[in-house]
Amino acid sequence: MKKVTLNRVIGLPYLILYGLGNIIGAGIYILIGEISGISGYLTPLAFLTACIGVLFSALSYAELSSRYPKSAAEAYFLQKGFNNRLIADISGFVIILSGLFSAAAIISGLYGYLQPFVDIGEFATSFVIISILTFIAIWGIKQSVGLAALFTLIEILGILLIIVVGFYYLDLSKIDYSQYIPSKITDINFILLGSFLAFYAFIGFEDVVKLSEETINPSKTMPKAIIITLLLVAFLYVAVSFVAVSVVDPKTLASSKEPLALVYQELQGDSKILNYIAIFAIVNGALVQIIMVSRMFYGMAKEGWLPQFLAYVNPTTKTPIYATVLTAILLSVLVLFLDLVKLAEFTSYGLLSVFLLINVALLRIKSKEKAPKEAYVVPYWVPAVAIIINVIFLVVKIMDNVK
């Protein structure tokens, strides 16, 4: 009997939208305020700097996903780079845990948005949402990614709405553009400090590679999707942050719990539409994490690193049902019992460490293995620069927590 495999049905447009949905979440609606409190009018440059910092690791992921289009992603890349099962397993579990913690935090936050409409209790609401999203993920990859793409378009609409309305109402001729350009050494420091926080607004590009075994011609499609996604996100972040600090004073923005809603309210007088869009952003964030985690379980099981039942693919839906159900069960436990804030802080160290190892692994692979003819290849200095950047981010984060 022929073994059932995942369904290769995802093309470049859907992959880009999946990536955008993974990176752009409801968090950006709050993060802009925090960064403006650090970087002030230089906030757009802080986002641009963060994007450049992330880009080097993204290019490394682009080459690795082109060489090895596997659902196990990081775990497989590190196994190839270090030939060490322990490093591969630990990194795979870090990615799985980061996805579960992220989804759990997102779902926990959804209750506050839904409470005015329907209140059945926090855990009951979370359980219903997890059950619905799990059903969608099992239904089929084309259906679940299609729905994620729709939700992504809605959340992008929220950001575009602020950008378009902002530029329409702003009198660009009266703006003092000199305040958006660094004029002294201390300004560079403000940009860099803001970029350390903005860095986390770009994390999520790496989750695209978990769909490698469901993507049409992944060796060529995957690198394009990663790079295009990151550049589109950078444009949206820089543009919306420019509008935000131009409409509302950065200090006022930093003191607001809903900075972008404040910006839109300043422009239009009513920000309710952004609250509705935030619901779609939250649901979408949870859905893409469930898909990502289930593919990591599937990919690691397929390589023989986890129990084989997790590699089972349903012949009708062409999705890894047991891996998806396990994801839902673990997610429910996390929502019910654990302190997500502390765990999320711990996994952020893990993610930065994985990024660091991924770039080291690529250097090792490039030195001993010739790339396939169809693979996307980056110069040696790309992962080398990414290693330096990730070490800096790790050191800054450790020092910040020590304080």
pLDDT band at 403 (very low <50, low <70, confident <90, very high): low
Reduced DSSP (H G I as helix, E B as strand, rest coil) percent helix, strand, coil of the chain, to 5: 80, 0, 20
pLDDT range class, residue 272, cuts 50, 70, 90? confident
Residues 316-320: contacts with CB within 8 Å, 24+ apart? Answer: 317/138, 317/139, 317/140, 318/4, 318/5, 318/6, 318/7, 318/140, 318/141, 319/6, 319/7, 319/137, 319/138, 319/139, 319/140, 319/141, 319/144, 319/294, 320/6, 320/294, 320/295
**Cα–Cα distance for residue pair 42/45, rounded to 1 Å:** 5
Asked if the structure places residue 7 within a domain, the reply is no
pLDDT of residue 78: 96
Neighbours of 128 (CB within 10 A): 13
Q: Is residue 352 part of a domain?
A: yes
Q: What is the pLDDT of residue 258?
A: 81
Q: What is the DSSP string of 169-194?
A: HS-GGG--GGGGS--SHHHHHHHHHH
Are the C-beta atoms of residues 200 and 400 closer than 8 Å to each other? no
The pLDDT tens digits for 147-191 are 999 999 999 998 999 999 999 888 877 788 788 888 888 888 889
pLDDT at 346 over 80: no
Task: Name the band, by pLDDT with cuts 50, 70 and 90, for residue 119.
Answer: confident
Residue 174 lies in a domain: yes
Residue 10 DSSP code: B
Residues counted in the chain: 403
> Does the residue 202 lie in any domain?
yes
Reported as a pLDDT band with limits 50, 70 and 90, residue 197 is: confident
Q: Is the pTM of this model over 0.75?
A: yes
CA angle (204, 60, 392) in 5-degree steps:
75
DSSP 223-281: HHHHHHHHHHHHHHHHHHHHHHHHHS-HHHHHH-SSHHHHHHHHHHS--HHHHHHHHHH
Q: Is the pLDDT of residue 219 over 90?
A: yes
Among the ranges given (264-278, 283-297, 380-394), the one the predictor scored with the smallest mean pLDDT: 264-278
Q: Is the pLDDT of residue 232 over 80?
A: yes
**In terms of residue numbers, what domain contains 347?**
12-402
The whole-number average pLDDT for the span 341-361 is 81
Mean pLDDT for the chain overall: 89
Is 228 contained in some domain?
yes
The phi-psi region of residue 204 (left if phi > 0; otherwise alpha if psi is between -120 and 50; otherwise beta) is left
How many Cβ atoms sit within 10 Å of the Cβ of residue 13?
11
- When divided into structural domains, the chain yields a total of 1
pLDDT band at 271 (very low <50, low <70, confident <90, very high): confident
User: And the tokens for 288?
Assistant: 């893409």
Give residue 60's identity as a one-letter amino acid code: S
Q: What is the mean pLDDT of residues 345-370?
A: 89
Distance of CA 174 to the CA centre of its chain: 36
Cα–Cα distance between 199 and 332 in angstroms, integer?
29
Percent of the chain clearing pLDDT 70 (strictly above): 96
List the CATH number of the domain containing 54.
Answer: 1.20.1740.10
CA 353 to chain centre: 16
Indicate whether 2 pLDDT > 70: no
Average of per-residue pLDDT across 53-76: 96
Q: Is residue 1 part of a domain?
A: no
Query: Per-residue pLDDT for 234 more than 90?
Result: yes
Query: If DSSP codes are grouped into helix, strand and coil, which group holds residue 146?
Result: helix
Please say whether the beta carbons of 72 and 300 come within 8 A: yes
Neighbours of 396 (CB within 10 A): 15
Which contacts (CB < 8 Å, 24+ apart) does range 153-157 have?
153/17, 154/277, 154/280, 154/281, 154/284, 155/21, 155/24, 155/25, 155/26, 155/277, 155/280, 155/281, 155/284, 156/20, 156/24, 156/236, 157/277
3, part of any domain: no
The reply to whether 2 falls in a domain is no
Mapping DSSP to helix (H, G, I), strand (E, B) and coil, where does residue 215 land?
Answer: strand
Q: Is the pLDDT of residue 21 over 70?
A: yes
- Cα 182 from Cα 37, distance rounded (Å): 16
Q: What pLDDT, on the 0 to 100 scale, is given for residue 261?
A: 84
Q: How many helices (H) and strands (E) does the chain have?
A: 15, 0
pLDDT higher than 80, residue 339: no
Looking at residue 348, its pLDDT comes to: 73
Sign of CA dihedral 12, 16, 22, 26: negative
SS3 state at 26:
coil
| Average pLDDT of span 354-379 | 95
| Residue 223: pLDDT over 70 | yes
Give the mean model confidence (pLDDT) for residues 236-258.
92
Please give the torsion angle defined by the CA atoms of residues 69, 73, 76 and 79, in that order, rounded to the nearest 10 degrees.
130
Confidence of residue 252 (pLDDT cuts 50, 70, 90): very high
- Residue 401's pLDDT band, with cuts at 50, 70 and 90, is low
